[in-house]
């Protein structure tokens, strides 16, 4: 099966994400920050116990955990099926593998730590972006790539499939 080597993509992303989170948790205390580029990029350890941008934090912990578990499982099954389909075009498989690897990283974080470890912290002047992690970056990049591929497919661009 030629799809088997593709499993290294989400597994590699998961490994990189978990390693970066393990390092930051071992290096900083919650709320502690270290400048990488002073005034622009800091490593700041925080835990997101809610959903995207900390939303849904007000929901009771057990309900939130069940909600995230069900949503995560549905997403993994859906994207996993698309990722493993024989007819999936190469760039779609890259996008889906990135989304899967990131989702697995954040999902595993919720199970192991009760929240997602965030630590990449950017600011520019008075503007400050929410902290995030490698998994978030892979999910976003995968989603953008997948969206672009869907737009191109709708316009009739040829797609190369993996055989």
- Residue 17 annotated to the active site: no
- Residue 118 annotated to the active site: yes
User: Is residue 101 helix, strand or coil?
Assistant: helix
Both tokens of residue 63?
Answer: 């309900």
Residue 122 per-residue DSSP state: E
User: Is residue 116 helix, strand or coil?
Assistant: strand
Give one word for 31, left, alpha or beta, with left for phi > 0 and alpha for psi -120 to 50.
left
Give which of 18, 162, 20, 139 is closest to 76, Cα–Cα: 139
**Active-site residue list:** 118, 136
């Amino acid at each position: 099966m030629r799809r088997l080597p593709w499993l290294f993509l989400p597994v590699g992303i998961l490994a990189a994400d978990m390693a970066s989170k393990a390092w930051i948790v071992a290096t900083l205390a919650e709320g502690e920050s270290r400048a990488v580029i002073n005034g622009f990029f800091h490593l700041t350890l925080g835990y997101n116990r809610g959903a995207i941008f900390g939303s849904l934090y007000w929901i009771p912990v057990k309900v939130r955990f069940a909600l995230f578990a069900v949503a995560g499982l549905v997403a993994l099954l859906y994207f996993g099926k698309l990722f493993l389909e024989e007819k999936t075009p190469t760039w779609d498989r890259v996008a889906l593998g990135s989304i899967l690897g990131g989702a697995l990283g954040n999902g595993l974080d919720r199970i192991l730590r009760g929240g997602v470890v965030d630590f990449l912290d950017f600011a520019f002047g008075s503007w400050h972006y929410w902290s995030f992690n490698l998994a978030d970056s892979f999910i976003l990049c995968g989603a953008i790539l997948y969206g672009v591929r869907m737009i191109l497919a709708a316009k009739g661009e040829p797609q190369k499939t993996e055989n």
